Structure formats: structure tokens, C-alpha cells
Amino acid sequence: MEHPVLLKRRAFSPIWFLPFLALCISGWLLYSSYQDAGISITIHFKTAEGITPGKTKIIYKGIPVGTVTDVLINPDLDTVIVRVEMDKETRPSLVEDTAFWIVKPVVSAGRISGLQTLFSGSYISIRRGKSTVARRDFIGFEDPPPVTSDLPGLHLRVESDALYSLQRRSHVYSKNLKIGVVDDYHLNDDGKMTIDIFIRPEFSHLIHEGTRFWNASGLSISGNLQSGLSVNVASMASLIYGGLACATPEPLAESPPARDGMKFHLYKDFEDAEYGIPMTLQLASGAGIVAGKTKVMFRGLKAGVVRSLDINNDTFHTVTANILLDPRAEKILRSKTKFWVIRPQVSIEGIKNIDTLLSGPFITFQVGDGVFTDHFTVDSSPMPKPFLRPGKRFTLLSENSGSLVTGRPVLYKQREVGEITDIRFTEDGKKIQTEILIYDQYVHLLRQDVVFWNASGVEINGSLTNFSVNLDSLRSVLAGGIAFSNPVSSKRSTPLQAAANTKPFTLYSSHSEAIKHVPAMHRPGLLLKLNVAGGAPIREGAPVLFNKIPVGEVLGFELKRKNRHIEGTILIYKEYTRLVNATSRFYNASGIDIDASLQGISLDIESLDSVISGGISFFTPAAGKPAEEGDYFPLYSNLDNALQADSLILTLQLKSGTGVNSHTKIRYQGVVIGSLNKVWFDPEKGTVLARAVVQKNTAGLFREQSVLWLVKPQIDLSGIRHLSTAITGSYIDLHPGPGQLSETFVVLDRAPSVQSGSSGLNIVLEAPRLGSLKISRPVYYRQVRIGTVTGVELSPTAQNVWVHVNIRPEYQNVVHRGTRFWHASGINVSGSLFSGISVDAESIEALVAGGVAMATPEGEAMGKPAQNGDHFIMAEKAEDSWLEWAPEINLARKTTPVAQDCNTGSPAENSSDE
């Protein structure tokens, strides 16, 4: 039988501590909640577009300081109320003048802002105030508020009659440099605009009290179709978005620096803002005078410009020109200063002021003294006075007088040394006898075998393909004249002034006729023969060029060998004969060589003479035996054929002739090393063949295992590649390989799937599917591009895809046996209803085109460094633990040569044209 055990009841039970403990915990939670609680405020906006409760943040200098908790509609339906819970640390900043505004994407002609909100969403920005009065209810701004007056820099105001195309945040320019912004603007009661501008502190020293501001928005056009138009624009941004420009005139450069709050006038354009001294000039007529274009010149220097023209209400209805004079020319404003208008004048003496035919009339002056005045009347232009000089007379005989008349000049090396005194028939009436006077100081220039020719007008020889113009002086062009020269052999002849008897001289009709009839007029030099294939579209007298410098001339062409062969004769001037040797190559340099591409247009012109009349050029590639009189040289049709005379010739087989022609380029690492010069279809082989010419020094690139492929535009979901070839045309790219030198290749229709031989670390990734990976896609480590996908292929069993990857030499130490790889294509989206959504991507490039990412573990899990040819498994996505790996790895920063050795054929990393 069991008996109950009686225990003595305790006076105090431990269980009673539980209510006390619960009370303490509750108190601590209440205290912590109070201490950590945010500050609730309300902000009134006109619209809540882009604001999401629980997601939209309050950002201060890039740091979140609050979150939108709720959005309500104001009872008056005019605004919305945004409730925000601010961090407790912002309590001191929540004062009366604290400003809030919504930041969202803005794309306009002048700027792009808030672009990051395309992915993260709009947010509310805050600028703390300076007040000490706390506040919890605020009025939000639609745009960033104006800068505060205490912000370092210069705060100025400019007044204008109109706003033009200015906007808030429009730029202020000085010498096309952005030095400030338009902060705000408002309309005054008087109808004028007041524009607040802010100049950044580092540019405040550029603004003086004498600084002038003008509107730089859009285009400023002045002038007319007759005299030309002046177009002024500060920059493309100011053209579209608007802006102001400023400058300090040189006379006002020493004016005091501008102060905060100063007011300036805004001129409508640059010309209106120019600084100068006004004056007026009364003219009989305003013909040729254009406001804003006609200049006041003094000894070739600009002293002022005509600003406007007014018609006077006087008897003759004269014209008054309002001129803005350079301040440095202020001393000319004296009563005895004379002004006149310079215009082109054509008379029997020739053309004067011919430059004004293009530039238009200008105003000039002669400085005088007297009292100050700023109004003048134009005077007539001063004319030169004729004069008579003593000299010696000579007689010339010619078939006709041409356009010669008495009083016209006699020229020597285009300088006037005499004049024509008489023109009459000979006694038998068969010839024209012309008497000339050579001034005394120039008689010694004439020798017994001197040659005279008619230099009147313009001597034109040519056709549609050959054209030459010869004139001696502008005066002789219109008024006529005679020129003379002494042949080289005349140095030993007797001067005419010492001769006992002087017989009449022959007057040739032109300079070319004189050269044709007087062999001594030719320059001494070296005569060479040219074998011409085809026609000879080069006239006699055309230049022979070396480095675009005339070093000789073409003497003529003639048929040889039963009229089947053309032989040309050229003269190399004596001082240039050393430039020609047995290796020299001559080519036709006529016309213009145009090479156009997306990179620009290149015009190659040997000389202006060769463009009009044709010409021959040559170069000497190497040392050789000096050329001798009568040596024969082939004449190539153009420079390319001359350069390719010793080039390497390749035979290429193409799948199709689409996209290729006789000008298709061959490139290596982006550099043109050759081109096709012939493409044809071989009916026996049933394929397209091409003949290629490449530079001789690149022969080492073309070996048995070298790969050539055709590069043309490619468009797919991953992007557009080789877009430039849509305009410039396809080209052939090259990947060098080992083996013996070869001259025959098969050109692939596209780039090879695997390109080996790159420097750095070359490994293979195995994946069940290729996904969006393609050749040249990036490999990332910690979102830094460290390598490239160089090729893709199926595994030998066709169960997997092998992705060939090249890691750049400076990053190859990052890859170890324990490294993990995964697809970096697309984006990773995670989140919940309450915490928000997080979007993660390796890069924008990987998001669109795909790529590979990798991570290396720490410690022993890292394993040994990877070696060339190692295989790795590529996962579909990264595990969370991989993203936390951050081992310390010593990167070997060594420069590895990647250039191709053309002599040995060693491989180099091949560039791709994306």
C-alpha cells in the first residue's frame, strides 16, 4: 500500500518571475520602437506620377533618407498628398525652407537627366534648408528649385526684351566653354524679362562690369544673297536647347569684377553686343555697301564695320552709313580725316582693286588732324598719276599685232621694264613693226639672243581633257603687253647696250610659240623615254611630279613599232636628275583620286596643273644605278599599279561573288594590307575565283593553315555587327596560321566558329545548350570584362556544347581549377510584395547580347591555376554562395605581345569588327 508524500509548500515560486520578465521586455520594445521610429511628414505635389507607396525613396546626395508610405488625393482635387516616413537623422533638416522635388527621366535636346530612374523608378530629391523653424508639411516642386543665394559662385541678373528660346538650366558660355546656367526667369511689370543666372565659382573671374551678354540660342544670320550670309552659332546644344554667351571687350577688360546681384543687359545676338565707337559717313549711293558686312579697312587691317544704312531726306537723297569703329581707332575722328569707298575699277590701264570683286567694296581713310568729329562725307578715290621715263628703243617684227596698242607695258619676269611706243606696217606691208622703249635702268637685262612674245590677253591651249591657261600679268590680260626672256645659253652673249648694231627681233605670238621655235628656251636636264600601254591622255608641257613637286615636263608622244606602240619623251630638270635611278616607277597622275568610306572622303591630287592638263608622277623605292639619257621606263596607269608592281599575288576561291568586286579590301587587325583586282567565274571548277594583290612585307601571314573569310553586315537578336560594310562594302579578314607559305586560299562565307592561337589563357566551357552565347561575347569576373568567347562547337559525342574562352594575359591568374562559370545573359529578378523587387544583371551588354560570368572560391577550394586546354562545367545560373566569394589573387600585370610576326607566321590575337 502506497502512502502519499507530503512536501512543504514554498513561500516563493520561480514562475512568478515570468510576468516581471515579460514586463521588462515589453518596456524595452516600446523604448526601442520610440527611439528608432521615423519622422512622418507630408508633401503636396501637383501630380504623383512615378511615385509608388512603399517603394519610392527620398534621396539626399545619392543616399536614401526616407520612404513614401502613402499617396492621397487632396480634397480640393488640385494636388496630391504624399506621406513620407523620414529617417530620424533628418530631423534637423526638416525646416521651413527645405525643398522637395520629383526626379524622373528627362530627355531633351540640351540634356539627359534622371536616366537611372528608367530601371529604379522615380524618386524624390531633397535639399536641406537654412531655417531653424521645424516643419512637417511641405509644398513640392515640379523641377529642381533655383539655387540659393549663399551657394558659392556669382549670382547675376540680365534683362531682355524677350526670353528667346532660353529654358531653366540652359547653359551660359564663354568662348564655347560652359561657365554657368540659367537659374530662373520671370516677366516684369514693364513687359521685360528678368533672367537669373548662376556663374560657377571657378569662372567668376571672367565676369566684369564691362562684360556683355547676348543670346546664343538658334542661328544668327545676316547679309544677303549678293554679298553673302554670315551665320553665327555658339554650339549645337545652344542651337537646339538655348543658351547665353558672354565676353568682355578688350577695352573693358580692366573694369572691376562683377558682384552678386548685378544687372546686365542681354543683347539679341553677337553683332548687337559688339563694342565700339559710333560714327557716320555720308555717301552718294549705298551701292555695294552691306550692313554687317562692309568693313572699314586701314592698310589691310579692320578698323570698323558698317552697322546700318539710312536714306537722308535731302535734295539728292544721299545715304548715311552708321559705322561702329574699333576703340583703338578713336584718334582718326578728326575733321581733316578723309574717307573713300574702294570699288573694282576696269580701265584701259587694267583692273584695279580686283580683290573687291569677291569680297565686296570696303571703306578706307587717310588720317588727318583737326577738331574731333564723328560725321564725315566720303571723298572720291585717289588715282595714280602717269609719268614718262628715259630709255632705249628696239624694233620687233610679227605677223600681226594681236591686241597690242601703244602705251602698253613691256614685261620681264612679270615686272614692267618698258612700254610700247609705236605700232605700224613694214614698208612692204607683209609684217607688223612694233617699237618698244626699255627704261634705262633695265636695258642691261637684254642680250643679243633675247626672245620676245606677245603677252596680251590669256593664252589658252587645250581640249576637254587637256586644258592650260597662261598669262603674264593682270595688266596685260586686258590691256595687252609684250614679255621677253633670255635663254640659258645667252649668259655668254653680248649685252644689247654694248652691241654696235641692233637688228629687229622676232615677236612671237605667244610664249608656247617662242619655246617651240627656240630650242634654247628649254631648261637643261635629262631626257627619258616612257613605254605607254594604251592611250596617252597627257598633253605636251604637262608636269612631271615627284612628291607633288614639279621636277620636269612632258615633251611629247609619238607612235613607234608600226603605229602599235606609244613612246613618250619627258624632261627631268637638271637640278632633279639625282631623283631618278633604275628602280624609279612612273605613273599617270592625271585627274583626282577619290577614296570614300564611312571614315570620310580622301581626295588625292598630285597638283592643280595635273588635274586640268594631266601629268606624270614618279617615285624611287630603292637605291639603284643613276638614270642615263634615253633610258626607257614603263608608264603605269595609276599609283596603285605602280606600287603593286612587286606585290604578292594570291588566288582566292569564293563560295559566291555576292558582295565582292575588283576593289574589295583585304584587312588584318583592321589595317588594309591588300585588295582584289579581278573577280571572275571559272566554268571548269564551277566556282568564283579572285585575284588579290597584297603587300609584299605581309607574305608571312599567308600560310597553309591561315584562314580567310568574308566580312559583311550581320543582323540578329543579339545586335548588329559590321554595319559599316553596308555602305563601304564587304571586306576579307584574315586569321594567320602555321604551315608553309601559300598563294592559294578558300575564302569562308563567315568567320570560323573557333579562332585559336590567342595569347593569354585558352580554356573550354561545357554546357548542355549554347543559349545566347556567340563569338566575341564577354567573360566577366566581378562585372569586369576579363576575356572573350572565341568559338563554339559541339563536343565529340554531340552531347554538349564546347564554348572556347580566351582570358586576357593580365587576368589569367584569376582562373583556377575550382573556378565556377555560368551564363550571364538576361536579368535576375527577385523580391516580394512587401520588400520590393530587386533587378540584377552583369552589364547592359550581357543583358542584351549575352555573356559568361565566373567566380573563384577562397582557400583550398580554389585549386591550382588553370592551364591552357582545361575544361569547366558552365552552369545555367550562379549559386548564391558563389557571389560571396572574394579571394585575394595576385594579378600578373605583364604586357604580352600579340602582334603577328609576318616572317615566322607566329599567331597573334585577331581583332573582330563588331
Residues 6+ apart with CB under 8 A from 838: 829, 830, 831
DSSP conformational letter for 56: P
Both 710 and 617 in one domain: the answer is no
Whether residue 578 lies inside any domain: the answer is yes
DSSP conformational letter for 150: T
Give 293-340 pLDDT, tens digit per residue.
888 988 888 888 898 899 998 888 899 999 988 877 888 899 989 898
Q: Please give the backbone phi and psi of residue 729, each rounded to the nearest 5 degrees, phi first.
A: 95, 160
H-helix or E-strand spanning residue 21: helix 17-36
Per-residue buried b or exposed e for 496-534, using 16+ beta carbons within 10 Å of the residue's own CB:
beeeeeeeebbbbebbbebbeebeebeeebbebbbebee
Q: Can you give the pLDDT at residue 897?
A: 41
Residues 6+ apart with CB under 8 A from 519: none
Looking at 76, 106, 139, the residue that finishes a domain is: 139
Q: Can you give the pLDDT at residue 863?
A: 92
Class of residue 305 by CB neighbours under 10 A (exposed 0-12, middle 13-18, buried 19+): buried
Looking at 489, 521, 553, the residue that finishes a domain is: 521
Q: Can you give the pLDDT at residue 593?
A: 58
Of 241-255, 487-501, 739-753, the poorest mean pLDDT is in 487-501
DSSP helix, strand, coil percent of the chain (3-state; round to 5): 15, 40, 45
Write down the pTM of the prediction.
Answer: 0.35
If you average pLDDT over every residue of the chain, what do you get?
79
In this structure, the number of other CB atoms found within 10 A of the CB of residue 449 comes to: 16
In the numeric block, which cell numbers belong to residue 645? Answer: 608592281
Residues 6+ apart with CB under 8 A from 608: none
Contact yes or no for 727/598 (Cβ under 8 A): yes
Q: Can you give the pLDDT at residue 200?
A: 92
Whether residue 135 lies inside any domain: the answer is yes
Residues 6+ apart with CB under 8 A from 364: 296, 297, 298, 339, 340, 342
Residues 6+ apart with CB under 8 A from 542: 466, 553, 554, 590, 609, 610, 613, 614, 615, 616
**pLDDT beyond 70 at 826:** no
Whether residue 146 lies inside any domain: the answer is no
Contact yes or no for 649/743 (Cβ under 8 A): yes
Of 172-176, 387-391, 530-534, 569-573, the poorest mean pLDDT is in 387-391
Give 148-166 pLDDT, tens digit per residue.
777 788 999 999 988 888 8
Both 44 and 125 in one domain: the answer is yes
Q: How confident is the model at residue 227 (pLDDT cuts 50, 70, 90)?
A: very low
Both 766 and 878 in one domain: the answer is yes
User: pLDDT above 70 covers what percent of the chain?
Assistant: 77
Both 369 and 412 in one domain: the answer is no
Give me the amino acid identity at 752: P
Give the C-alpha separation, 364 to 343, whole Å. 11
Looking at 353, 377, 401, the residue that finishes a domain is: 377
**pLDDT beyond 70 at 140:** yes
Give the C-alpha separation, 850 to 843, whole Å. 9
Both 613 and 655 in one domain: the answer is no
Both 74 and 43 in one domain: the answer is yes
Q: Please give the backbone phi and psi of residue 202, each rounded to the nearest 5 degrees, phi first.
A: -75, -10
C-alpha separations of 364 from 338, 381, 382, 450 in Å: 9, 10, 11, 44
Beta bridge partners of 667: 672
**pLDDT beyond 90 at 89:** no
Q: Can you tell me whether residue 28 is helix, strand or coil? A: helix
**pLDDT beyond 60 at 830:** no
Give 467-524 pLDDT, tens digit per residue.
455 555 455 555 568 999 888 655 556 676 655 456 899 999 888 778 767 767 777 8
Q: Please give the backbone phi and psi of residue 175, each rounded to the nearest 5 degrees, phi first.
A: 55, 40
Question: Domain limits at 300?
Answer: 277-377
Q: Can you give the pLDDT at residue 457?
A: 59
Both 498 and 582 in one domain: the answer is no
In the numeric block, which cell numbers belong to residue 181? Answer: 546656367
**pLDDT beyond 80 at 175:** yes
Lookup result for grid cell 530601371: 119
> What mean pLDDT comes out for the span 18-39?
74
**pLDDT beyond 80 at 109:** no
Chain CA centroid to CA 62, Å: 36
**pLDDT beyond 50 at 384:** no
Q: Is the sign of the CA dihedral 572, 578, 583, 584 positive or negative? A: negative
Both 505 and 620 in one domain: the answer is no
Contact yes or no for 99/83 (Cβ under 8 A): no
Give the C-alpha separation, 43 to 569, whole Å. 93
Whether residue 914 lies inside any domain: the answer is no
Whether residue 754 lies inside any domain: the answer is no
Whether residue 901 lies inside any domain: the answer is no
C-alpha separations of 130 from 86, 101, 155, 713 in Å: 18, 17, 18, 60
> What mean pLDDT comes out for the span 96-114?
71
Q: How confident is the model at residue 350 (pLDDT cuts 50, 70, 90)?
A: low
**pLDDT beyond 80 at 658:** yes
Q: Can you give the pLDDT at residue 396?
A: 93
Count structural domains, the chain. 7
In the numeric block, which cell numbers belong to residue 325? Answer: 569703329
Q: Can you give the pLDDT at residue 898?
A: 40
Q: How confident is the model at residue 225 (pLDDT cuts 50, 70, 90)?
A: very low
H-helix or E-strand spanning residue 34: helix 17-36
Q: How confident is the model at residue 767 (pLDDT cuts 50, 70, 90)?
A: very high
Of 135-144, 188-197, 779-788, the poorest mean pLDDT is in 135-144
Both 487 and 551 in one domain: the answer is no
Give the C-alpha separation, 541 to 238, whole Å. 54
Q: Can you give the pLDDT at residue 388?
A: 56
Give 617-629 pLDDT, tens digit per residue.
999 988 889 999 8
C-alpha separations of 28 from 36, 87, 433 in Å: 12, 21, 131
Lookup result for grid cell 584587312: 667
Both 734 and 681 in one domain: the answer is yes
Give the C-alpha separation, 39 to 66, whole Å. 9
C-alpha separations of 511 from 454, 488, 507 in Å: 7, 16, 10
User: Beta strand 243-247 with 212-215: parallel, antiparallel or unpaired?
Assistant: antiparallel
Of 242-246, 425-429, 470-474, 822-826, the poorest mean pLDDT is in 470-474
Both 638 and 657 in one domain: the answer is no
Give the C-alpha separation, 408 to 609, whole Å. 29
Whether residue 1 lies inside any domain: the answer is no
**pLDDT beyond 90 at 6:** no
Of 380-389, 663-672, 744-753, 848-857, the poorest mean pLDDT is in 380-389
Give the C-alpha separation, 750 to 115, whole Å. 38
Both 414 and 466 in one domain: the answer is yes
Whether residue 547 lies inside any domain: the answer is yes
